[in-house]
């Protein structure tokens, strides 16, 4: 694949999974709608609407997008599991089938 085309491809069809889709703008002003999947070692991984993943340098994006990525990278990650176990549950261990006082500690509607 021609590496000169990669930024154009990334900026033309981006949409990623974990967060809300957003329009990313590179330093040349080209825009693409995508969702941020992950950030590591100065590289952002995004997923396009067609499911393709691309990695690009965070510094190739606008200052606003770099700030967004910085905020997302420092945000707590939700795993879908009990990230916080109440003191009561920790003390008594796990009991299947019975709702325990404290199971919903920290959860708000």
For 88-100, what is each residue's pLDDT tens digit? 554 455 555 555 5
The angle formed by the CA atoms of residues 67, 68 and 70, to the nearest 5 degrees, is: 60
Q: Structural domains in the chain? A: 6-74 (2.30.30.700), 80-109 (no CATH)
3-state DSSP assignment of residue 56: strand
Query: For 8-17, 30-39, 72-81, 86-95, which range has the lowest pLDDT when averaged over its residues?
Result: 8-17
Contact 56, 66 (CB under 8 A): no
């Amino acid at each position: 694949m021609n590496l000169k085309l990669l930024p154009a491809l990334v900026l033309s069809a981006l949409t990623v999974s974990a967060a809300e889709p957003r329009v990313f703008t590179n330093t040349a002003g080209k825009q693409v709608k995508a969702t941020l999947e992950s950030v590591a070692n100065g590289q952002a991984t995004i997923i396009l609407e067609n499911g393709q993943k691309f990695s690009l340098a965070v510094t190739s994006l606008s200052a606003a997008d770099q700030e967004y990525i910085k905020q997302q990278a420092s945000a707590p990650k939700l795993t879908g599991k009990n990230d916080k176990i109440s003191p009561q549950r920790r003390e008594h261990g796990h009991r299947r089938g019975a709702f325990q006082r404290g199971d919903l500690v920290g959860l708000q509607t």
